[in-house]
Amino acid sequence: MGYLDEAAFERAMTCSCGGTTFEVSTYIDRHQSLMLADANDEGRWAHDGEKFIDGIYRMVCTSCRTPTFESADCPRCHHAGGLADAIGQMSRLVAPKRCPSCSNTEISIVGFAPATCKASPGQPGKPTPVALYGEPGFHVIAVACDACDWAQVAEGCPLCGHAGKLRVRP
Ligand SMILES: [Zn+2]
Ligand SMILES: [Zn+2]
Ligand SMILES: [Zn+2]
């Protein structure tokens, strides 16, 4: 489990100023299809409410800018200070132009995209990606050929790159 569960998420939606709208920053799973290692479309979210909450690393009151939750640790593996190794950094795992096994040019990836949204109690809001595939901050978790069973998974933590044990996600 991440630092926030559903109950802690709801608790972080109260600010001493009385504000009830929060800017939420999170890392969530995104599917993307590629052609010759370039994005073939915009990609799509692949997450549920629990994963959305699990990836949260900051919540800020939109009225007074006070953070009601903040962590500098990696949201995926909790490596201390690991967030800085994810935000603004290029993905360590990259997709090949062609499948190394069957030379197919169509490859699918799942990655971690940083996203923000406006949330208020009972309304988690719709996340907007801050970085897409190929941009700093987006990290590829796994790559798979669309035509054969070739696949590759990021070594260590797909988000911060550290070798520590990955925690169980909801
Ligand atoms: Zn406030
Ligand atoms: Zn990590
Ligand atoms: Zn293949």
Distance 37 CA to ligand 3 centre (A): 13
Q: Is 167 contained in some domain?
A: no
Q: Is 133 contained in some domain?
A: yes
- pLDDT tens, position by position, 59-116: 999 999 999 999 999 999 999 999 999 999 999 999 999 999 999 999 999 999 999 9
Distance 62 CA to ligand 1 centre (A): 7
Distance 164 CA to ligand 2 centre (A): 8
- pLDDT tens, position by position, 131-144: 999 999 999 999 99
What residues make up the domain containing 42? 6-153
Q: Is 129 contained in some domain?
A: yes
Regarding predicted confidence, which is higher, 98 or 122? 98
Q: Which residues surround ligand 2, an ion (CB under 5 A)?
A: 74, 76-77, 79, 82, 157, 159-160
Q: Is 37 contained in some domain?
A: yes
- pLDDT tens, position by position, 3-39: 898 899 999 999 999 999 999 999 999 999 999 999 9
Q: 138 exposed, middle or buried (CB, 10 Å; 0-12, 13-18, 19+)?
A: buried
Q: Is 49 contained in some domain?
A: yes
**DSSP bridge partners of 38:** 35
Looking at the structure of the chain, the number of domains it has is 1
* Nearest ligand to residue 68 Cα: 1
Answering whether pTM is above 0.85, one says yes
Specify the pLDDT at position 1: 60
Distance 13 CA to ligand 1 centre (A): 10
* Nearest ligand to residue 57 Cα: 2
Q: Is 90 contained in some domain?
A: yes
Q: Mind giving me the DSSP string for 9-58?
A: HHHTT--TT----EEEEEEEEEEEEEETTEESS--EE---HHHHHHTEEE
Average pLDDT in the 33-58 region?
91
* Nearest ligand to residue 63 Cα: 1
Q: Is 33 contained in some domain?
A: yes
Distance 118 CA to ligand 1 centre (A): 14
Specify the pLDDT at position 150: 98
Q: Is 159 contained in some domain?
A: no
Residue 46 has pLDDT above 90, yes or no: no
